[in-house]
Amino acid sequence: MPGLRNTLRDLRATHSMTQQELADAIGVTRQTVIAIELDKYSPSLETAFRIAHVFSVPLEQVFQYDPPSSRKK
């Protein structure tokens, strides 16, 4: 997914949380968590905030945005 990166996998590992546990905590399916981790799906703002809330970190620590000018060609 161009533009948006995330540290979901690292945060899950830090908190010893499975994909299913995170999915249950934020109210999505495990397949959606997998898609987010693989940068195949950009979640809604609400879900993004829920993820940040689960890990008790600011949103910017979970998701990072690369503006088009800074992306590799």
Interaction between residue 31 and another protein (CB under 8 A) = yes
Applying CB under 8 A, the site for another protein has a residue count of: 16
54-63 — which CB contacts under 8 Å span 24+ positions? 54/22, 54/25, 54/26, 55/11, 55/14, 55/15, 57/11, 61/7, 61/11, 62/6, 62/7, 62/8, 62/11, 63/4, 63/5, 63/6
Interaction between residue 3 and another protein (CB under 8 A) = no
How near is the Cβ of 37 to another protein at its closest, in Å?
Answer: 10
Interaction between residue 42 and another protein (CB under 8 A) = yes
Interaction between residue 35 and another protein (CB under 8 A) = yes
